[in-house]
Amino acid sequence: MVKIVDVAKQAGVSTASVSRVISGLPGVSEETRKRVNAAVKALGYRPDLAARRLRSGRTDTLGLIVSDIRNPFFTEISRAVEDVAYQHRMRVLLCNADEDPEKEAFYLEMMRDENVSGVILSPTLSLLTDFRPQDHPFPMVLVDRCERDVEADAVMLDNFDAAYRLTEHLITQGYRRVVFLYGSVGSTGPQRYQGYLAAMSEAGITPEAEPITPRSERAREVAERMLKRRPLPDALMASSGLVLQGIVEAVKEAGVKVPKDIAIAGFDDLPWTSLVTPDITVIRQPTNEIGQTALRLLLERVVMPERAVRRVVLRGELMVRGSTQARV
């Protein structure tokens, strides 16, 4: 039977380094990690997971609780998290809270019962309001949603800046009456609303915005109502990919021409946004980087529970396309 000492000898490293690589922990070089993995494969070594859990008091399982798995943004985040977890030979327990605080609480309790090593969480607004990491028995990293006064590891988009730049782009393209539909459930929509307000205020334009449940069906209903009024808004702007989808469906159904009659812009560079005619101007979120960074922060927190809180704020990329061509 191949033992960990055999792997260490084959790789030319210490047993401690082998243990860190197999456990998916940081603290070893990429070269060492490659040598250990090569030795594991060559020798056919399989660690005794049950024994290791008993010794360490931790599992090789991480929790990932997203707020709405139907949102492609969270699907991409999940994929990125799983990719890095696999590299560290760790498993991911994925749960969908569906923006429901009760489901969220249930899954957090389940994570405790499963004795997970840590959890990546996209929190509901009610949990985020008084969130404290020390209230939970495992390390946590927040993704997508975090308020300024929350002392927790987090990875998120600079929502204010992204919405500000998207609104500013519409204004410079000649669109004055920009109506913003934004999600009212989490903290992301309101943060983007603040960026929209700032850009409109600087341009001396009266803002028009409506908070909605961030579902494509609801966005379509609201957009349909707006498209029946005259005069039409100059532009409709969405706070998420699902809201954007609903707006595009409503515009198509109404037979309104884009961008001649109305411009459209929003968040999330989903595949369909570049396939429709005209293609849609969006803020591209670095979803892969968000997911991978969140998992790495979580692994660091597992190893160094007392390290300082880290918040990684990433910048979205403005993808200018045909739906916001300049007005003549």
Both structure tokens of 166: 């998207």
Q: Return the residue matching tokens 């000492």.
A: 5
129: Cβ–Cβ under 8 A, 6 or more apart, which residues? none
| 285: exposed, middle or buried (Cβ count in 10 Å: 0-12, 13-18, 19+) | buried
* 209/280 same-domain check: yes
Residue 166: CATH number of its domain? 3.40.50.2300
Residue 38: CATH number of its domain? 1.10.260.40
Question: Can you give the residue range of the structural domain that contains 151?
Answer: 57-156+286-314
Residue 154 has pLDDT above 80, yes or no: yes
* 151/176 same-domain check: no
Domains of the chain: total: 3
* Stretch 294-314: mean pLDDT: 88
**What phi, psi does 105 have (nearest 5°)?**
-60, -40
Helix, coil or strand: residue 66: strand
* Helical segments of the chain, H only: 4-11, 15-22, 30-43, 49-56, 72-87, 101-113, 125-129, 159-172, 188-202, 216-227, 241-254, 287-303
Cα end-to-end distance, the chain, whole Å: 76
Spatial strand order in the sheet of 208-212: 208-212, 178-183, 235-238, 263-267, 281-284, 317-319
* pLDDT at residue 136, rounded to an integer: 85
* Stretch 270-275: mean pLDDT: 93
Contact 246, 217 (CB under 8 A): yes
Contact 322, 259 (CB under 8 A): yes
* 281/203 same-domain check: yes
* 280/165 same-domain check: yes
Contact 317, 283 (CB under 8 A): yes
Q: Return the residue matching tokens 């993704």.
A: 143
Residue 52 has pLDDT above 80, yes or no: no
* 127/189 same-domain check: no
pLDDT digits (tens, 9 = 90+) for 213-272: 889 999 999 999 999 999 999 999 999 999 999 999 999 999 999 999 999 999 999 999
Both structure tokens of 300: 């660091």
Which of 54, 69, 94 corresponds to the end of one domain?
A: 54
